[in-house]
Structure 1
Amino acid sequence: MQDISAYIITYNEEIHIARAIENAQKYAKEVFVLDSYSTDKTVEIAKSLGAKVYQHEFKYHADQLNWGLQNIPFTTEWIWRQDADEYLTDELIEELKNRLPNVPDHITAFTAPCLRKFLGKYIKHGIIPLILLRLFRRGHAQWEDKRMDEHIYVTDGCIENLKCPFFDDNLNNISWWTNKHNNYATKEAIDLLLTEYNLHPQSSVVNSGAHSEAIRRKKLKYIKLPLFWRAFAFFILRYFFRLGFLDGKEGFLWHFLQGFWYRTLADAKVFEIKKKYNFNKEKIKNFLKENYLNK
């Protein structure tokens, strides 16, 4: 067993939590669950499987994740941040076993490819695998204090890459998915506006991985494109040019819902805010500062 703790945050994840913990127990000495006062059987299941459960009121992801880093008594050298609907492949677990014992001290984190399943099907086409920083040495990383699109970053040292993937495989139904992404679209709209008007607080991020930095650069280009047309173009790029149609009905639903509908909804919320303030930049900026900054 590697000198790793699994770190899972939850809220009403009874559909996923057993799978996540049983997967984490394949690679981690200890499994910690930070729960946001679930009303289902998440906590009961987690405790029954031997996980150590802590609870804290949820404000936003970065706040919750950083609270856990500061208050959960991690003792292992390494921490793997795992979502409840994720699991590591056996190949990745084997790679961790082989690589971690020989990691030099200046390496303080690792990224790994995140692959996507939707409605039970692996989405192979149309999307580039996310390369996410998920494994880090205790005391050498934290999350940006942002309400949307927060990134984990290392406070010192260097990042290396793991080659084998883990999966994001949510088991909830389409109604749950669309409700969740409606809420995400609100946060995304605010983040797009904060970025457009250069209102994000100056960050002390020194290293969150090359992929994360590339995503940031692409987002800066995306916000300069016309509302709504950018979402349509994004869908066309993924579904046709990147061959998303090869993944059948599940692929169509994924690319349409996540690549077009969700981004169009975020743009609609951007448009709604701008129209409310008659497209006056100063009024929009004041609204954002009063409602979404320093909260």
Structure 2
Amino acid sequence: MNSISTIILTYNEEKHIERCIKNAFRFSKSVFLVDSFSTDSTVEIAKSLGAIVFQNKWENNHAIQFNWGLKNLPIETNWVFRLDADEYLTETLIDEIHSKLPSLNTEITGVVFERKMYFLNKLMTKGMIQMNMLRLFRNKSAICENRWMDEHIVLTEGKSIQFDGYFVDHNLNPLGWWIEKHNNYATREAVELLNIQYNFIARDEKSIEHHLMSADAQSKRYKKKKYAKMPLFWRSFIYFIYRYFLKMGFLQGKEGFLWHFLQGWWYRTLVDAKVYEIKKACGNDKVKMKYFLEKNYKIKL
């Protein structure tokens, strides 16, 4: 078995955790859960399948939780894989890891994979922007950058390559759960877009400059900065048109329409609505923005 430890962050993931752990053990020597004190059967299922469970208080930040795991878990393998509870690797990618990983030279410290999405139990293949993510890295050679949204694994040394296979995000929760989740995401995304303009979140720039972000993550960050400069509301409409018509998302039927409408237009419009709300209440005053976010959204910057 590959010298890989897989880390999974969990809170009440009994719907997904068995599928995820069984999949992880097909390419990993060890599987660790960093659990935020689940109240369902997540921990019991994980332990019964041979996963090692640690619990740590959730601080409303994925990066903090994952980096806590990197620091505190008894990882003894050469490689570490970050996997979400509702994700799993395809057969092709598992075979590719088995065949390629042992022969990688030492200057390669990270591996990038494509992530594909299921929505309403259908794999979205049309109208998609390719999502490449660095998820596998040599032990002690990477951390998760601390951001409100779209945090990435960044290397502290070496360089990354990309494998051909992909893994999938296949959440089994109902649509209402998805909408509630994205409502919460919209607030965090609004904070990120406002921060691009007003720079009111302190970053550890000295630390960041020594980290090596994958080319895909850099490209995504650059595109987000361009997107942030576009007019409110129009940008979400244009984004939907691009995905649904120009990239032929309409070819995937009702599921395709709902995916691109909800994720590409509704969600992005909701983000803009929250940006508009904050600017309307606070103007360009960064202090007022921080106070507004803490008072109304329980976000302390």
TM-score (norm 2): 0.93
Aligned residues: 294
Which residue in 2 is equivalent to 1:87? 88
Question: Is 1:184 aligned to 2:185, yes or no?
Answer: yes
Q: What corresponds to 1:210 in structure 2?
A: 215
Match of 1:234 in 2: 239
1:95-142, Cα deviation, whole Å (9 max, x unpaired)? 111111111111100000101111110101111221000000000000
Match of 1:76 in 2: 77
Report how far residue 258 of structure 1 moved: 0.5
Q: Does 1:15 align with 2:15?
A: yes
**Alpha-carbon distance in structure 2 between the residues aligned to 1:27 and 1:15:** 21
Q: Secondary structure at the match of 1:254?
A: helix
The more displaced of 144-153 and 97-106 is 144-153
Question: Counterparts of 1:111-260 in structure 2 under 5 Å?
Answer: 111-200=112-201, 201=203, 202=205, 203-204=208-209, 206-260=211-265
1-structure distance, mates of 2:4, 2:240: 39
The worse-fitting range, judged by mean Cα deviation, of 280-289 and 143-152 is: 280-289
Segments of structure 2 that go 5 or more residues without pairing to the other structure are none
- In structure 2, relative to structure 1, the CA distance for the partners of 1:147 and 1:169 (3 Å cut) is same
Alignment partners' CA distance in 2, 1:280 and 1:89: 47
Query: What corresponds to 1:38 in structure 2?
Result: 38
* Matching residue's letter, 2:85: A
Alignment-derived partner of residue 276 in structure 1: 281
> Are residues 294 and 167 of structure 1, via their aligned partners in 2, closer, same or farther at CA, if it must alter by over 3 Å?
same
- Unaligned runs of 5+ residues in structure 1 are none
Amino acid at match of 2:42: T
Deviations 1:240-285 (A, max 9, x none): 11000111111111101110111111111111110011x2345556
8 Å Cα contact 1:244-1:255 kept in structure 2? yes
Q: Which residue identity does 1:260 align to in structure 2? A: W
Taking a change above 3 Å as real, the CA distance of residues 265 and 286 of structure 1, as seen in their structure-2 partners, is closer
Deviation at 1:204, TM superposition (A): 2.8
**Segments of 4+ in structure 1 off by > 3 A?**
281-295
Amino acid at match of 1:25: F
2:63–2:145 CA contact under 8 A, matched in 1 = yes
RMSD: 1.8
